[in-house]
Structures are given as C-alpha cells and as structure tokens.
Structure 1
Amino acid sequence: MSLRLERVANISIQIRGVTYAKGDSSDSQKPGYVPLLRAGNITETGLVFDDLLYVPSKLVSQKQRLCCGDVLIAASSGSLDVVGKAAAFDLDSEFSFGAFCKVLRPTTEVDARYFSHFFRTASYRRLISQLAAGANINNLKNEHLDELLIPLPSKIEQKRIAAILDKADALRAKRRKALEQLDTLAQTIFIEMFGDPFQNPKEWPRIPLGELLSNIESGKSPVCEDRPSKDGEWGILKLGAVTKCEYLSSENKALPVGVQPDVRFEVKAGDLLFSRKNTYELVAACALVDETPPRMLLPDLIFRFCFPENSRLNSSYLHRLLITGSKRREVQKLAGGAAGSMPNISKEKLRGLPIELPPLALQQEFAERVKKVELMKAEMRKSLTQLDDLFSSLQHRAFRGEL
C-alpha cells in the first residue's frame, strides 16, 4: 500500500478549550448553558457523558462547539495516565469542552474515523507520554500534536481501514456490555434474596461489623518503583487494585531491591479488601480476591477483613453487601478528614458499621449462585482480552500500511 507521512497540523485544525470562572459553571442544565466535556469524560473506550458541567453559551465561541468527527484530547493533567487520552466525538448534539482539553478537527483531506483511530494506538500514547512529561504537571503543547506524523493512504483506503477497525471495536463494546449485564445479574440476585440493605425489608438483624470479624488489617506503603512488579518481584498494591470493586493485581508498584517485604501482608485468594482512603466518590471500594499472583502486598490505604473460624459472615455476601449502592453510600458517610485532604475511614468507625446478617446458609447459597456468574464473567473477560489483542494488532498493522 502506498503511504505518505503527514503532519497533523496539515490535516486538522487545533482548537483550545473554553476558559471559565468557577462561579460561571453549573452542574445542572440551565437555559442558555452548554454542556462541557472534560478530561474525566475521556475513557479508553470512548466518551462518557456523565458528571457534566454546564457553562453560559456566551463563553463558547462557534469554533469551540464540538462537531461530529472531532477528536477530544486531555492536554493537561497531574497524571501521565490521563494526559493524551483521546476519543472521537460522534454526536450531533451541542457540546463544548474545557480548557484542560484540546480538539483536533480533521479537514476533508482525511477520513475522520481513520484520523480518530490513530489517537487510540499504543504508539501514539507512548510518544505523547514522552513529550508531555513535566516536573509538576504534564502538558501537551500545540506543537506536540501539530508535529505528529500520521501514515496517510488514499481516502478510499482510509475509509476501508476505518471500517475494519470500527467493526473490531464494536465487537469489543458488545463484550463489555455483556460483562456489565452479568454484574447487574449478581446485584439482582442479591436484592432478590436479601432486599435493599437500606430498607431492610426482610428485617435481618443488624450487627456491628467489628463483632463479625476477627481483625481489620492494613499493610505498609514504602516508597516503590514507578512501575509494576515483574515476575518474581514483590509488589505493593495501588488503590486502583480495588477501585472498580473487582480485584486487579496488575495495579501495583514494584518493591525496590533491598527493601524487605513484610510477608504478613501478602494478599491471598479469598481475601476481602477495602479502600479506606480516596476521593469521596471512590472511597469504600471493596474487592474480593478470587485469584492473585504471589508476592502482592497490602498497602496502608487498603484494609483486609479477617474472618474468625466458624464465622457467621460469608465473604462473598459481605462483598456484595458493601458494594450495593445504598450500603456503600452509608459506608462513605463514615469518611472524614481535614479540608483539602482525601476522605479517610477509620477502623474504629468501620467496626461500628451495622451489617445486615441473614442466616449463614442463605449467604452461602448466594455465594454459590454468584460463583456461577463469576465463572461466566471470567470466560467473557478472556474473550474480551482476545478481542483487545486483535484490535491492537489491527491498529498496529493499519498504521504501518499492512492491513
């Protein structure tokens, strides 16, 4: 295939985001206001349209109103994981975007879908991480984006390639949707068997959590390497290991050579982990460890619930109880902290948390039903991983002229 390398500046227009004072914005829609997308609305799988801000339309120029085909990019962040994230805007609705973002608006010389797929490639993210790294905050300058080089085949080829990538991406989206539905199924089973914990319609006795556990442990957080652990290395879990209420062992940092691991805090299969400190929206996340690689250690920001012999509490039941919406909001209210700091939940307050306690046999029946759901989810995740690998391979080949 005949390819030429073209500067992004030659096939797109770069647009800066809307600047506004804090008092100008609203978290709800008002007449004469425009919804505003920010870096948090950009995900690896596309744009999400929750947690929107609204700003007066008089602050938004015509150029800053998003068009179908625009590529929205997070241009400034304290985290290199965020800066450079990009997603295509494909709606006809009126939206704008904030000052910490940039938009690249493709010209008619390039197919918009082909153009947007380039900004989701691994090679793009690696290059942007190198360019954006700063001492205190990571920034993408105009020239960082303008000077990027995109392999550009003919317009017909661009459309063909974009169609292949779109189809592969749609298959991934279907798998993710199926996973979400399975998670909803587990929640439905919980409500069916036990009722909403806030209302407690089945009048289960409420027992303080501290009376049902033998201990609440927290680990240690030494200064670690700024990378995940490799095979055979010890790692300290990051908050991201539990933030999604599912255990992600890949969210860890390697323990430096020469630092002695405290093996008392090695995470084991069956552990129930709880984030004691985070932003208010993310604190009180809870994850049950189904399986884990060895040499993963508990940090001081994550608690481990320890159950006594002959426990009256099943860990699978407690996990699902604590991540049920109304119960998690109750737990989050326990968080406190100084102004400007992340909310923190103390062991003392957590021990006093009332726990709805059905008969153990019913909890165990629930655990068995959820186990079957989790097995289906594991198969679905395996399928999604295969599709992710396929998509990455197609992306790599597409922008090397091999697709």
Structure 2
Amino acid sequence: MSWPQVPLGEVSMIVTGKTPSTKDEANFGGDIPFVTPAELDAEATILSTPRTLSEIGAASIKLVPKNAVLVGCIGTLGKVGMAGKPLATNQQINAVVFDEAKIWPRFGYYAAKRLRPEMEMMAPATTVKIISKSKFSELTTPHPPLDEQKRIAGILDQADALRRLRTRALDKLNTLGQAIFHEMFVGNSQITRDWKRLTLDELIFENDRINYGVVQPGDHDAEGVPIIRVADLAAPTVDFESVKRISRLIDASYSRSRLKGGEILIGCVGSIGSTMIAPPEFNGANIARAVARVPVDPQKCDPRFVAEYIKSDIVQRYFQKEVRLVAQPTLNIKQIRETEVVVPPVELQQDFLSRISLLDSSKNQVVEGITRTDDLFTSLQHRAFRGEL
C-alpha cells in the first residue's frame, strides 16, 4: 500500500522566518528562543536556543506556535526540528504549521525529514542553495488517515528516542578522554618543571610538514576522492561512505595534504580547534582548506596523546587568543606550527594510552549500537511511508 501525497501548502500554513534589526540590542536577550539552522537536527524538539529574542524583538516578527515543524531552506537544506514552545526563526527556515485535522504534527515532522534529497535536487545552481517559499509549498507529504499517522509517529518516536540515547552516551564517552588527560597531567606539578616542551612543528616527521588542504573542494564527485571537512571533525562519528568527494584531478594538485591515517586533523576556520586522529580508513582521502594536517612522529610523542593535549583548555585557550577574524574566525598554519606541547615521559604516555584504548573499545561498542539503531530507524521510516508498517 502507498499513501496518497498532498502538497504541504494544502495541509499547512508556511511561515518564513525573519531576523529583527541587529542594530537595536533591545531586540535580543529575552526568553523567546530564536532558531537558526545550527539548532536543527540536534534535538527533535527545540525548547531553548543560544540566542534569544526579547518581547520587543518578537513584536517585530511573526512567532510560530508549538508543534510547528522547522525546515532549513537556505544554505544547508532539509535540516529539521520541531517547536517545543512558541518561538521565532531566522529567514533561512520555513516553519510548517500543520492543520492538525489533516496532518498530525509529529507525523509531519518525520515526513519532513525525508525531504532533503528532493530539496537538494530542486535548488538552483547558485553559490548558496535556496528553496523559495512557493517551491517549498509544492513539496508533498504522505497523507494516511489521522489515526494511522499517530500510530506511525508513536513507533518512530520510540526508535528515534533509542537512537538519541545512544548518541548522547557517545557524547559523554567522547568527553572522558579529556577527563583522563586532566587527571593525569593538568594537576601534575611536574608538568611545568621537568618535562620537555616542543612545538607541533618539532614533533612531526622530518621530511613532512603541517599544511592545509584543498582550497576549493569543487562539485561533489561520487567516484572521486573523499575530502574531510571541519564539519566531519566536529561530528561524534564520521560516516566515511557519505563524506563529500572531489575529482581525482583536483586531488592530484594537493598531494601533500593527502592522508595516510594516523595524522592529527585540526579545524582552522569556523569551528576552531576541533580535533581528531585520522583513522586508517582515511588512507587516500584529502582535507579541505579549513583543516590542518599535523603528521606527528610517534617516535617523538604518541599522536593520540598530542591530540588530547590539543583538545585541552591549555591549547584551546591559545587557539582562541590567536584567532584572526576575517570572514570567519581563522587560525593560520604558523600559529599551529608554534603551538607548544608539554611532552611527558614515555611510561606516562603509555599509561595514558592504555586507558584511552579501553575507552576507545567502549566507544566502538556504542558506535556499533548507533549504526544498528540508525538502520532500524531508516527501515521503519521507509516502511511507514510506503504503508507497510
């Protein structure tokens, strides 16, 4: 069975967001959440945001009600959230206020999560992808009977809750590496007296260098070379099969930034200081301009220790101090090369790494669980919208 499809414009009111004048500080800082695309996809229901509006600011725009489905329509298309209370959005978001006699909002939320591929295809080939309100209104949603919509939404809610619980567990495990690092090293008085201090430039392989990656990634090439971007560094896990790819011709011009696996990768633009060790499956991939590649020589210091040191407040404060504000916050290669690392004795590094290895084992188990629940959710979603659930 397949459910009939109806245009969003026929079963909802669509409200495009707006930003109050930023020249008037009185518009901001109140209790009304102000949603931007950065808040979409993070949690299903949005109750609070980093930036808020005052009553004055809210009076100059249109608030959307609780249960409105929020969809990113400019820039990163198809990110979705749901209003947990009356709130405002910026102009990059369309709020879909469903007629609840026709579409149950929670069902509409899950239906909206399936729109991204279609939105990507219909967006004009411009520098910034954008879907107009009229085009967005023409997108369709399945329209089963209302009782069936509620049943489907309830099943998907349970699967999504399990998926989010496991993701939060992984987030907590990802902070434990820093907790172990602080316990072993930050409170150790020897760290300022007896241990060597070397710059990142002094810790890399002799015949290598710290460098940026590809200046302009270009169009996605499904058969090309994977390229690791800042957004990939910030993600709890990297789905290597779904990362952006560039043509082999572009990659050939940037052979010095090609990865072997084991290098430290550092975000240099926007998400400053986000850090990860390139896993073995990154062998042959390349990096974007906003990422720095730091090929630490394990004979000088273990790269995993150096990576945790870079994540520490010691280095992150240094990065923030050195940031240059151009179009976006930017950290240049010279500043990264000059970043100082305190190198503990080998036996302490090994003790630290044995603890990290146990932590990594736990993280791998959670990642496997996330993969299984993602597959379950995707399967349930496909079956639900085909009328097979």
Give the TM-score normalised by the residue count of structure 1: 0.83
Question: Structure 2: where are the runs of 5+ without partners?
Answer: none
Rounded Cα–Cα distance in structure 2 between residues aligned with 1:247 and 1:206: 34
Q: Is the 8 A contact 1:219 1:297 kept in 2?
A: no
Residue aligning to 1:316: 304
Q: Aligned to 1:193, which of 164, 167, 184?
A: 184
Please state if 1:20 is matched with 2:14.
no
Quickly say closer, same or farther: Cα 1:164–1:228, change in 2 above 3 A: farther
Rounded Cα–Cα distance in structure 2 between residues aligned with 1:258 and 1:201: 49
- Name whichever of 238-247 and 39-48 sits farther off: 238-247
Q: Is the 8 A contact 2:69 2:95 kept in 1?
A: yes
Please state if 1:207 is matched with 2:197.
yes
- Name whichever of 207-216 and 360-369 sits farther off: 207-216
Q: State the number of aligned residues.
A: 382
Deviations 1:9-40 (A, max 9, x none): 2221112223421113579734xx63311122
- Name whichever of 150-159 and 58-67 sits farther off: 58-67
Please state if 1:111 is matched with 2:104.
yes
Rounded Cα–Cα distance in structure 1 between residues aligned with 2:203 and 2:216: 34
Q: Aligned to 1:126, which of 106, 113, 117?
A: 117
Please state if 1:153 is matched with 2:130.
no
Trace 1:131-142 onto structure 2 (pairs within 5 A). 131-142=122-133
Residue aligning to 1:226: 219
Q: Is the 8 A contact 1:245 1:287 kept in 2?
A: no
Rounded Cα–Cα distance in structure 2 between residues aligned with 1:399 and 1:143: 24
Rounded Cα–Cα distance in structure 2 between residues aligned with 1:172 and 1:380: 11
Quickly say closer, same or farther: Cα 1:133–1:50, change in 2 above 3 A: farther
Identity in percent = 22
Quickly say closer, same or farther: Cα 1:171–1:226, change in 2 above 3 A: same
RMSD: 3.0
Shift, 1:261, TM fit? 6.5
Rounded Cα–Cα distance in structure 1 between residues aligned with 2:110 and 2:91: 23
Rounded Cα–Cα distance in structure 1 between residues aligned with 2:167 and 2:387: 29
Q: Which one-letter code corresponds to 1:288 in the other structure? A: I
Deviations 1:225-279 (A, max 9, x none): 522554xx5444333343448666453423335974765544223222223x312
Residue aligning to 1:274: 266
Deviations 1:145-174 (A, max 9, x none): 322222211111111111110011011011
Residue aligning to 2:79: 85
Rounded Cα–Cα distance in structure 2 between residues aligned with 1:307 and 1:259: 22
Shift, 1:366, TM fit? 0.8
Please state if 1:169 is matched with 2:179.
no
Q: Aligned to 1:255, which of 227, 230, 247?
A: 247
Q: Aligned to 1:363, which of 331, 345, 349?
A: 349
Residue aligning to 1:385: 371
Q: Which one-letter code corresponds to 2:311 in the other structure? A: I
Question: Structure 1: where are the runs of 5+ without partners?
Answer: none
Quickly say closer, same or farther: Cα 1:26–1:246, change in 2 above 3 A: farther
Please state if 1:296 is matched with 2:285.
yes
Secondary structure of 2:276's match? strand
Rounded Cα–Cα distance in structure 2 between residues aligned with 1:258 and 1:315: 28
Q: Which has the higher helix share?
A: 2
Give the TM-score normalised by the residue count of structure 2: 0.86
Residue aligning to 1:344: 331
Deviations 1:96-130 (A, max 9, x none): 22222221111121211111110112xx1111112
